[in-house]
Structure 1
Amino acid sequence: MKKNSWFRTIPLWVLVLLMGIAAAGCGPENQAKIVEGKVNVVTTFYPIYEFAKAIGGDDANVINLLPAGVEPHDWTPKSQDIVNTSKAQLFFYNGAGLEGWVPQFLKGLNRDSKIKAVEVSQGIKLIEADEEKDQHHEGEGPQTRHHIDPHTWVSPKSAMIMAENMKESYIEADPAHKEAYTSRYMDLKKKLEELDGEFSSKLAAMPRKEIVVSHEAFGYMARDYGLTQHAIMGLSPDAEPRAQDLLNLSKLVKEEGIHYIFFEELVSDRLAKTLASETGAEVLVLNPVEGLTEEQLKQGDDYFSLMRKNLQNLILALQ
């Protein structure tokens, strides 16, 4: 009876997903299982997953929705994701506009679900995107509404706030293991503080402060460490920039003597390479750490190793 009543209350788009499960296949995101006797946590994408695992330790079973190599801005959930999340105790998502699918996804969960949804970016002073740089798709006029930059985790300072929000949620869901969660959180916090210190001291010593990036994903890093970000594209990595924006960036690169244009591994490097070619600059990776590639997984990379590679490349570009 419960099963049938749930079936009648779920939205149409969820029904389509359920009917299409065979077509959806059994990719990495569909392999995770709920584990009895632990706090089951569902996370929306990689950095949240890493922090949730670090704090949860042996007391938690953490399931990440996004598979390796997938860019999170335009991802949508699969039917097995709905099933797993309905049975979990905690759902950690970034918020700040990153996962536009979350409200409908939560409405589609089993109405008997006891899960608590936690927007882990709560408490971070969010950045409002410049309307001029909030790029539009070809054929549309410039956007006039305000957008929030959701890329909070790219700054270790913001990541510390996110980690604390997760720790508090773990304790609320499973107070019996409060000391263990707090201890593991303190270990994570120490690592984030060390990373923050490295970014602060090393970037403060750089003579240059201007960076040109393919996608406007480094606002929090720029704000917290005294840099100025110039983006080819806006907050969405698949938007097309205007010709005038590219001309202005080309002029900036030449006038400021910028030697490197940063690109990302999970999105096309075409525009970054074009701008570099036109200005005599080179291209270099600056990773927004939205997800790991298969190669990075094999190499054992994590948030900290990728952020330190970012720091190395920033130092190279800003000398």
Structure 2
Amino acid sequence: MRSFKHMSVLLIVMTVLLSACGANSGKTLVEGKTNVVTSFYPLYYLASEIGGDNVNVVNLIPAGVEPHDWTPKSQDLTIASKAQLFLYNGAGLEGWTDDFLKGLPKNGGLITAEMSKGIALIHGNPEEEEGHDHGDHDHDLDVDPHTWVSPKSAMVMAANVEDSLIQADPAHKEAFEANYQTLVGKLEALNEEFESKLAAAPHKSIVVSHQAFGYLARDYGLTQIAITGLSPDAEPRAQDLLKVAKFVKSQGIKYIYFEEMVSPDLAKTIASETHTKLLVLNPIEGLTPKQEKAGEDYLSLMEKNLQNLLTGLQK
């Protein structure tokens, strides 16, 4: 009898642990709703905002994990194969998508869609044209995948998400359209704020730890100088660091931008060498657990980015 009691306690503990895991990962499909699987946080945000109560959105990459470092497990493939819609960024961000898509059942009725479609992609390393050659560490990335970091691109992606949701769940077309209009209103206001405030900023060059701000720079008249390339794991050469340091000194730049989900060591090295300060510029590839707990989202983090850009671009 006692062993049964122990067994039942053990089962309760296991159930609590499993449900806690489920809550943390959020990787749970819901019957009776359109299940949407997204490859990383910005798409999770857009799908949640536009889908509203009619969809259940599952984000594959957990909070605090850098998308460049993540690869799917077999359970991720299982979850996606049972969903109705799988949204991914494309433009080379998720190096695993080709194999992942091949592994999904062909007759399961799952719709897969690339959300960077329709955005004019940045090819190659634009800094090479300006004489800031950061070497060949980006040989595997010839397209800048960081489309969502510009509010202008985020609006294109929001329209792609809306189209995909309507395709997967036409019965809720009107609700998706209404939610989309609300979200686009917010993104348009954000875009206008970026345009007007950055146009008035006295400096136009930003020095960043990782080349994730090409679309932001292109859309709002800034020049991005990156310490590392398109992948945050790339190792710059000594001469690259010297070039960046020389640029910072010659341009009178006062701040070096770093990211919260990537080691700030290189940014700290340049800041120390050039007697400049450090500021966060967030590529919003994911939320940290702290940001998630605080209820931060794409819009609030982009507002913080704008404030930090304006601080760094003062004379």
Query: Matches of 1:317 and 1:299 in 2, distance apart?
Result: 25
Structure 1 unaligned spans of 5+:
1-25
Structure 2 unaligned spans of 5+:
1-20
Shift of 1:143: 5.6
Deviations 1:246-278 (A, max 9, x none): 111110100101000000000000000000000
Q: Choose which of 96, 110, 113 in structure 2 pairs with 1:101.
A: 96
Provide the residue aligned with 1:307 in structure 2: 302
Query: Matches of 2:283 and 2:133 in 1, distance apart?
Result: 18
Provide the residue aligned with 2:284 in structure 1: 289
Shift of 1:208: 0.3
CA RMSD of aligned residues (A): 1.9
Query: Matches of 1:33 and 1:53 in 2, distance apart?
Result: 15
Q: Identity over the aligned pairs, expressed in percent?
A: 63
1:208 partner SS: coil
Shift of 1:30: 4.9
Q: In structure 2, what residue type is equivalent to 1:312?
A: Q
Change (3 A) 1:281 1:194: same
Provide the residue aligned with 1:215 in structure 2: 210
Change (3 A) 1:259 1:63: same
Q: Is the 8 A contact 1:29 1:64 kept in 2?
A: no
TM-score (norm 2): 0.88
Query: Matches of 1:110 and 1:202 in 2, distance apart?
Result: 48
**Where do residues 53-64 of structure 1 align in structure 2 (5 Å cutoff)?**
53-64=48-59
Provide the residue aligned with 1:32 in structure 2: 27
Query: Matches of 1:96 and 1:28 in 2, distance apart?
Result: 30
Q: Choose which of 302, 306, 312 in structure 2 pairs with 1:317.
A: 312
Change (3 A) 1:53 1:145: closer
1:149 partner SS: coil
**Where do residues 38-57 of structure 1 align in structure 2 (5 Å cutoff)?**
38-57=33-52
Deviations 1:73-117 (A, max 9, x none): 120012221111001111000000000101111112234421111
Q: In structure 2, what residue type is equivalent to 1:209?
A: K
**Where do residues 181-200 of structure 1 align in structure 2 (5 Å cutoff)?**
181-200=176-195
Shift of 1:293: 0.6
Q: Is the 8 A contact 2:133 2:240 kept in 1?
A: no
Change (3 A) 1:143 1:195: closer
Q: Is the 8 A contact 1:263 1:285 kept in 2?
A: yes
Query: Matches of 2:29 and 2:205 in 1, distance apart?
Result: 46
Change (3 A) 1:42 1:134: farther
**Where do residues 154-169 of structure 1 align in structure 2 (5 Å cutoff)?**
154-169=149-164
Q: In structure 1, what residue type is equivalent to 2:146?
A: H
Count of aligned pairs between the two proteins:
291
TM-score (norm 1): 0.87
Shift of 1:173: 1.5
Query: Matches of 1:277 and 1:107 in 2, distance apart?
Result: 47
